[in-house]
Amino acid sequence: HIVTTTTHKTLRGPRGGLILLGQDFDNPFGLKTPKGETRAMSALLDSAVFPGTQGGPLEHVIAAKAVAFGEALGEGYTQYTHQVQKNAQALAKEFLNRGYDIISGGTDNHLMLIDLRSKGLTGKLAENTLVQADITINKNMVPFDDKSPFVTSGIRIGSAAVTTRGLVETDMARIVELIDEALTHHADASRLTSVRAQVNEWLQSYPLFQTAG
């Protein structure tokens, strides 16, 4: 079997990806070596990555991946992943309490997909509005969406970034409150400025990196 994943996002490393292969096997496409032997799947993957799509190695990115993998081996990473799930479930609960429609009714992982049609909003409008409030989410299509992929009827929200900054379940209500305020008053520039100020003042206590001294 073959599994693909990223080294960024929930792994919290640099931008990149991984292709994981279980026990090697003959490729199912019948591709042969110059000697007529069936090529192994691992060989196809290797050649597809380099020289197929990848250029020269970037040593600083390799080093950053090594740091991320090292952190993932620690107990702290296990605690982080559990907190990511708890935070996501708390976020989903708060959105439901405020009348938002979540696809599947909740979440079992780190993200959720919110259908904004009942709020009279598009994903594009929500994304652009929240950018002005220094809140990062993504517009996303929902099942049976009648909007284009460039507009969409939904947004996708994840809990990994806020968890990395140290926020816990009890903080999720305030996040949803700020998002709801911005979306409810998306046409009011002064309200968006106020939300942005609240976001930045609050998160000064939760820096991404601790500075020395």
Asked, for residue 103, whether it belongs to a domain, the answer is yes
Reply yes or no on whether the pLDDT at 112 is more than 90: yes
Residue ending a domain, among 49, 72, 95, is 72
| DSSP letters spanning 2-24 | EEEEESSGGG--SS-EEEEE-S-
pTM: 0.86
**Structural domain boundaries enclosing 92:** 75-203
Residues 86 and 119 reside in one and the same domain: yes
- Domain count within the chain: 2
Reply yes or no on whether the pLDDT at 213 is more than 60: no
User: Is residue 148 classed as helix, strand or coil in its secondary structure?
Assistant: coil
Residue ending a domain, among 28, 52, 72, is 72
Residues 94 and 124 reside in one and the same domain: yes
Asked, for residue 47, whether it belongs to a domain, the answer is yes
Asked, for residue 95, whether it belongs to a domain, the answer is yes
Residues 172 and 105 reside in one and the same domain: yes
* Across 44-48, 69-73, 177-181, 187-191, least confident range: 44-48
Higher pLDDT, 153 or 54: 153
What is the average pLDDT across 145-155?
97
Residues 123 and 139 reside in one and the same domain: yes
Residues 40 and 63 reside in one and the same domain: yes
Asked, for residue 53, whether it belongs to a domain, the answer is yes
User: Is residue 156 classed as helix, strand or coil in its secondary structure?
Assistant: strand
Residues 163 and 111 reside in one and the same domain: yes
